[in-house]
């Protein structure tokens, strides 16, 4: 059992802390946000993530997991310190490291023995060296510590399973002592022979950005293919299936839709682009993927207009606000672009999402939030599916047709079969499904 402190109880920090406690470590999740810590102490999980509450509750009962606003005491009481604070994009797209470096300074001033300092936050290559310099500058003379990079690869909506059963664990370090301690931190995974990629700090940092950028490129690529399919009468779902059967390509992330969003892909691709500019190495593929994704979001509005004509005075039923199912995260979500553009054009929005409505309610006072999909559809001129929550797959489509003012549907995630929709009597548009049904 290792004594661990996780600084930051956001999405990454809380999942990391709870799961490391489940591995048998003693973990303190520390945060200066008193409201968040008070909720956690009362058993209230501040984020929507399936399965997380069960892991938290189990390890609180076992006294493996603790929560505290006393960051200093938590640092001094631990031997491994994970930095899991936010790194939002700056004005130029670069990752804002101010909080990471501020936390590093706090750690430096409270070194009371050898510590392994782990960056779990997504940070650009070179951040580990910056953290090291901060600690050397502000820490005691002859301080004993090692800086390690240990990037997360968590998908929102399945983060607990991703942490417990990862494809790989990446550890960037230059010290054998630190590497061995990290192996002990991840002991259950190490024993189960989960692939452990041991490398230097800079390579570890780069692995995270390269991985997310590649997946973003795949999404933007298949969306552009879908747009071509719309023009020539091809079906992108069949195209993607055939592509995915090629072992060199794989079917993952080849799902055409309204574009990607969330906390990782938009931020990380911009940060990688900024890094490439700083070192004078153009990343034309990544830059094209970013531009294609923004264009894809706007193309959803054009498809709505294709169904409804002028949006002024029209009511659009929007199903799904979160950027993906099983999360309440709306950062850079395609739904926000759609809502903004429809409202700007004089249209109205009646929206429903199982988890994310409260997140955006205050920002969209002109949007009506429905109690369920059927209320959203009532009297609407068009229904637009943006997020593929499972409950939307099982809607009573006959009922939906009767509720809509006009039986028009834009399926932004290709959830429904065009032939079935046509048979029911819908005027249907998918993404890259060839022609309007």
Question: What DSSP line would sit under 366-424, residue for residue?
Answer: TSEEPSSHHHHHTT-SEEEE-S--HHHHT--HHHHHHHSSS-EEEETT--S-HHHHHHH
- Backbone torsions φ then ψ of 317, nearest 5 degrees: -85, 115
Q: Report the DSSP pairing between strands 408-411 and 427-429.
A: parallel
pLDDT of residue 22: 97
> Measured between alpha carbons, how far is 297 from 290 in angstroms, rounded to an integer?
11
The overall average pLDDT reported for the chain is 96
Locate the domains of the chain by residue range: 3-199, 230-429
Given a cut of 60, whether residue 402 has pLDDT beyond it is: yes
Strand partners, 396: none
Question: How does residue 434 score in pLDDT terms, banded at 50, 70 and 90?
Answer: confident
Structure tokens at 131: 């953290």
- Backbone torsions φ then ψ of 190, nearest 5 degrees: -65, -45
> Architecture of domain 3-199 in CATH?
3-Layer(aba) Sandwich (3.40)
Residue with tokens 């054998």: 176
For range 236-262, the mean pLDDT: 96
Query: Is the separation of the CB atoms in 415 and 393 below 8 Å?
Result: yes
> Measured between alpha carbons, how far is 334 from 7 in angstroms, rounded to an integer?
31
Given a cut of 80, whether residue 70 has pLDDT beyond it is: yes
Query: Is the separation of the CB atoms in 131 and 100 below 8 Å?
Result: yes
Residue with tokens 């933007």: 220
The pTM (predicted TM-score) of the whole model is 0.92
For range 26-51, the mean pLDDT: 96
Given a cut of 70, whether residue 435 has pLDDT beyond it is: no
Q: Tell me the CA distances in angstroms from 309 to 115, 306, 313, 347, 432, one per residue in order.
A: 63, 6, 11, 11, 20
pLDDT tens digits for range 147-164: 999 999 999 999 999 999
| Residue 229 known to be catalytic | no
Given a cut of 70, whether residue 67 has pLDDT beyond it is: yes
| Residue 125 DSSP SS3 | coil
For range 259-282, the mean pLDDT: 93
- E strand map for 225-360: 315-319, 348-352
Q: What number of CA atoms fall less than 13 Å from residue 174's CA on the CB side?
A: 9
pLDDT of residue 247: 95
Q: Which of 214, 200, 154 is nearest to 17 (CA)?
A: 154
Given a cut of 60, whether residue 426 has pLDDT beyond it is: yes
Question: How does residue 323 score in pLDDT terms, banded at 50, 70 and 90?
Answer: very high
Question: How does residue 1 score in pLDDT terms, banded at 50, 70 and 90?
Answer: confident
- CATH classification for the domain delimited by 230-429, as one of 2.40.30.10, 3.20.20.100, 3.40.50.720, 2.130.10.10: 3.40.50.720
Query: Is the separation of the CB atoms in 25 and 1 below 8 Å?
Result: yes
pLDDT tens digits for range 102-153: 999 999 999 999 999 999 999 999 999 999 999 999 999 988 999 999 999 9
For range 307-316, the mean pLDDT: 97
Question: How does residue 100 score in pLDDT terms, banded at 50, 70 and 90?
Answer: very high
> Measured between alpha carbons, how far is 118 from 251 in angstroms, rounded to an integer?
33
Given a cut of 60, whether residue 437 has pLDDT beyond it is: no
Query: Is the separation of the CB atoms in 58 and 52 below 8 Å?
Result: no
pLDDT tens digits for range 358-380: 999 999 999 999 999 999 999 99
C-alpha dihedral (124, 129, 134, 140), degrees to nearest 10: 150
Q: Which of 163, 164, 135, 131 is nearest to 148 (CA)?
A: 131
Query: What proportion of the chain, given as a percentage, has pLDDT over 70?
Result: 99
Q: Which of 118, 429, 199 is nearest to 299 (CA)?
A: 429
pLDDT of residue 91: 85
- Backbone torsions φ then ψ of 339, nearest 5 degrees: -60, -45
Distance, C-alpha 249 to centroid of its chain: 23
Given a cut of 80, whether residue 436 has pLDDT beyond it is: no
Distance, C-alpha 260 to centroid of its chain: 10
The 10 Å Cβ neighbour count of residue 346 is 11
Single out the catalytic residue among 5, 19, 229, 264: 264
Structure tokens at 133: 């310099």
């Amino acid at each position: 059992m290792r004594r661990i402190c996780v600084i930051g109880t956001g999405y990454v920090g809380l999942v990391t802390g709870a799961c490391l406690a489940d591995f048998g470590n003693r973990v303190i999740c520390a945060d200066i946000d008193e409201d968040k810590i008070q909720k956690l102490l009362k058993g209230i999980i501040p984020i929507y993530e399936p399965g997380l509450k069960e892991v938290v509750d189990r390890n609180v009962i076992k006294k493996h997991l603790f929560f505290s606003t006393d960051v200093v005491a938590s640092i001094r009481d631990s031997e491994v310190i994970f930095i899991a604070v936010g790194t939002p994009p700056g004005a130029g797209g670069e990752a804002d490291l101010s909080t990471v470096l501020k936390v590093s300074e706090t750690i430096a001033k409270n070194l009371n023995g050898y510590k392994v300092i782990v960056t779990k936050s997504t940070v650009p290559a070179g951040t580990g060296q910056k953290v090291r310099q901060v600690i050397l500058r502000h820490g005691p003379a002859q301080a004993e510590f090692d800086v390690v990079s240990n990037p997360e690869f968590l998908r929102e909506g399945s983060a607990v399973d991703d942490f417990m059963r990862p494809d790989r664990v990446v550890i960037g370090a230059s010290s054998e002592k630190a590497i061995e301690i990290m192996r002990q931190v991840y002991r259950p995974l190490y024993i189960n022979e989960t692939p452990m990629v041991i490398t230097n700090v800079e390579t570890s940092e780069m692995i995270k950005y390269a991985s997310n950028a590649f997946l973003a490129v795949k999404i933007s690529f298949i969306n552009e293919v879908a747009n071509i399919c719309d023009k020539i009468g091809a079906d992108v779902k069949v195209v993607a299936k055939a592509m995915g059967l090629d072992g060199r390509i794989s079917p993952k992330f080849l799902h055409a839709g309204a574009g990607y969003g969330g906390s990782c892909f938009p931020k990380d691709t911009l940060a990688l682009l900024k890094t490439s500019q700083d070192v004078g190495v153009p990343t034309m593929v990544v830059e094209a993927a970013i531009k294609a994704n923004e264009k894809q979001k706007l193309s959803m509005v054009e498809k709505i207009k294709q169904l409804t004509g002028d949006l002024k005075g029209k009511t659009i039923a929007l199903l799904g606000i979160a950027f993906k199912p099983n999360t309440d995260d709306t950062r850079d979500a395609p739904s926000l672009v759609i809502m903004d553009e429809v409202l700007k054009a004089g249209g109205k929005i009646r929206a429903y999402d199982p988890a994310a409505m409260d997140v955006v309610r205050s920002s969209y006072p002109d949007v009506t939030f429905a109690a369920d999909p059927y209320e959203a559809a009532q009297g609407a001129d068009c229904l637009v599916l943006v997020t593929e929550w499972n409950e939307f797959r099982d809607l009573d489509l006959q009922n939906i047709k009767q509720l809509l003012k006009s039986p028009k549907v834009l399926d932004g995630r290709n959830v429904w079969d065009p032939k079935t929709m046509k048979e029911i009597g819908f005027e249907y548009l998918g993404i890259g499904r060839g022609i309007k049904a």
